[in-house]
Structure 1
Amino acid sequence: MPQHTDEPRPRITVIGDALIDELRDPTGSREFIGGAALNVAVGLSLLGDDVTLVAMVGDDEPGRRIRAYLDDYGVRLVASPSAHGSSRAISDRRDGEPRYEFNEAAQRRALRFDEATLAAIDEADLVVVSCFPFDDADQSAALRDAIARSAERLLLDGNPRAGMLRDREAFVATFEEFAARSLLVKVGDEDAELLLRAALDAFVGRLRRAADAAGPSRGRPLAVLATAGREGATVHHGDLEVHAGIVALPGPVVDTMGAGDATLSAVAHHVARSGLPGDEASWAVALEAAMSIAAATVRHEGALLRVPPTREPVELLGS
């Protein structure tokens, strides 16, 4: 359940996806409530923040399970309707490399930017966008209008998925545009490979150049959080480059599915409570906490954020 302190809780609105993750492997089939944005929203709530999720959820049995799950973890839902039911992602790991499939709802995902959605964005101290269809021109235009006043409080994670990607070039161009108006953007090595067929450093460079091209209107340099699996994470922020390796914890790695989302949750929580770090020491603290939380998360099946058992969230994150 969410952790609470006597401090005022930041209000964070997360915009993106919510779905059923179906995992198939030699032991059988299991289902989890998931979606990158949902994972981040629940993670932030577990860390003690006041969280709203904007996502498409069907009026069906899976949708009722998603709603109940969010309610259990104290996350408010502003739901967009779905003509195709709730989204589902199938991860088939029965024969070597995992294969991913997405149902029609996931492939046609769309958000409705109605009064409730706009209010959730306007009232938030921080807005996080994760796994958004940046290759959908209409959706991108609606998001652009909705967050027009949110540049100083916008965190962005493209989280592209091959099975939901319609136009790679359009996705990259629009993602770079939104990144240039964000406070912080997260990218992973798998994102760079899928979108650019290039190394992570190349993607980081493109995003930083796009932000620089936005000129002095930004007011501050873009922070890029680059994650590279077992290689850890690096923040590129102005002249700073701060790296944190993975954290060794007892027990085997069970499931890496939620590592990136847990990392983003931890960093977003830190930014919401303390602001964007401005020096190497502050970034080192934030990254160490994020890597510790990611390490604890991957030692459990599913993507639910975990905190190392010997540390309290308030102590770990300096909340």
Structure 2
Amino acid sequence: MPQPSDSPARITVVGDALIDELRDPTGSREFVGGAALNVAVGLALLGEDATLVAMLGDDEPAERIRAFLDDYRVRLVASPSEHGTSRAVSIRTDGEPRYEFNEAAQRRRLRFDDATRAALDEADLVVVSCYPFDDDEQVDLLLDAIRDPERRLVVDGNPRSGMLHDRDRFLVSFERVAARSLLVKVGDEDAELLLGAPLEEFVRRLRSGDAASGPAVLATAGRRGAALHHAGIDVRADIVELPGPVVDTMGAGDATLSAIVHHIAVHGVPTSAPEWSEALGEAMTIAAATVRHEGALLRTGIVPPRVGS
């Protein structure tokens, strides 16, 4: 379990990297994105030593992603894709995205070679986001490659209907990985997609084991704020009001997760309600700042990154 530290934590993020094409009544624009990439870049902006493990093609979009990661000092361990680089077309209505994914995104797979395993083994924390949990082989490879997941693994299922091949299998595997994790994030949209049920029911399922030793559960509910449940502690936080309108909610969940992981890296895992409330308040401030800009790039608001970052 991470201990309080003044030095940057080594954090490896596993998941997706893609080109996000935003379409709305004003036209079409493209951003480098993907949930895992957003978290890795967010952690780098908060002062951590971030590595991203993701799939890329051999094409121009991949070069844009590589250059973007270089700009934010995020190391990349790339798995090859025979179908090119993933792309998501985001059609926005009132700031809320609806996604369509290309073949590469729908057939995403990671190669657990020596470079990938080294990045996972050397990390103080491993964050998994938007992973193909409905692929049994990929799930087994992931768990086999992460030592001490109960002390190091943070997981966000982040299912997307356009990339989901087997909902029931995804749910079973996600819950299996979550049960062995330090912290798990779920959202109200995840609960609706995977369970057809309210977020509170999904949280109860994830907490159905040993409450004292099970993972911390970060539950995000959009405009209703977020909650954190851990070892008998339950804290909630509302959306933070900041100047300016909400422009784009795409990166809110990723920013929230980045902020919580950053807090754990700096201070260790909270052990009391006031400590979790502080962590959640920081995360809500960062999320509120992020949604006031187009694209999913994390904005720190008034919460400072590590000194010297």
Equivalent runs, 1:50-129 vs 2, <5 Å: 50-93=49-92, 98-129=97-128
What is the TM-score of this pair, normalised by structure 2? 0.95
**Is structure 2 residue 289 aligned with structure 1 residue 296?**
yes
Q: Structure 1 CA distance, aligned partners of 2:7 and 2:220?
A: 30
Q: Structure 1 CA distance, aligned partners of 2:66 and 2:172?
A: 33
Check the 8 A contact 2:248/2:292 in 1, yes or no: yes
Q: Which structure ranks higher in relative contact order (CA pairs < 8 Å, sequence separation ≥ 6)?
A: 2
Correspondence for 1:149: 148
**Is structure 2 residue 48 aligned with structure 1 residue 45?**
no
Correspondence for 2:198: 199
3-state SS in 1 of match to 2:90 = strand
Tell me which of 274, 291, 300 is aligned to 1:281: 274
Correspondence for 2:210: 212
Q: CA deviation at 1:212?
A: 2.6
**Is structure 2 residue 295 aligned with structure 1 residue 312?**
no
Q: Structure 2 CA distance, aligned partners of 1:98 and 1:311?
A: 26
Q: Structure 1 CA distance, aligned partners of 2:155 and 2:253?
A: 13
- Report the CA distance shift for 1:27/1:112 in structure 2 as closer, same or farther (over 3 A): same
Correspondence for 1:223: 216
What stretches of structure 1 move > 4 A for 4+ residues in a row?
A: 94-98
Larger mean CA deviation between 271-280 and 168-177 belongs to 271-280
- Report the CA distance shift for 1:230/1:117 in structure 2 as closer, same or farther (over 3 A): same
How high is the sequence identity, in percent, across the aligned residues? 70
Counterpart amino acid of residue 186 in structure 2: V
Q: CA deviation at 1:91?
A: 1.1
Correspondence for 2:239: 246
Counterpart amino acid of residue 312 in structure 1: P
3-state SS in 2 of match to 1:301 = coil
What is the TM-score of this pair, normalised by structure 1? 0.92
Q: CA deviation at 1:150?
A: 2.8
Counterpart amino acid of residue 162 in structure 2: G
Check the 8 A contact 1:10/1:50 in 2, yes or no: yes
Q: Structure 2 CA distance, aligned partners of 1:16 and 1:41?
A: 10
- Report the CA distance shift for 1:240/1:311 in structure 2 as closer, same or farther (over 3 A): closer
Counterpart amino acid of residue 212 in structure 1: D
Q: Structure 1 CA distance, aligned partners of 2:95 and 2:275?
A: 41
Aligned length: 304
Correspondence for 1:216: none
Q: Structure 2 CA distance, aligned partners of 1:148 and 1:126?
A: 11
3-state SS in 2 of match to 1:288 = helix
Check the 8 A contact 1:41/1:51 in 2, yes or no: yes
**Is structure 2 residue 10 aligned with structure 1 residue 11?**
yes
Q: CA deviation at 1:164?
A: 0.2
Unaligned runs of 5+ in 1: 1-5, 214-218
Q: CA deviation at 1:98?
A: 4.9
3-state SS in 1 of match to 2:111 = coil
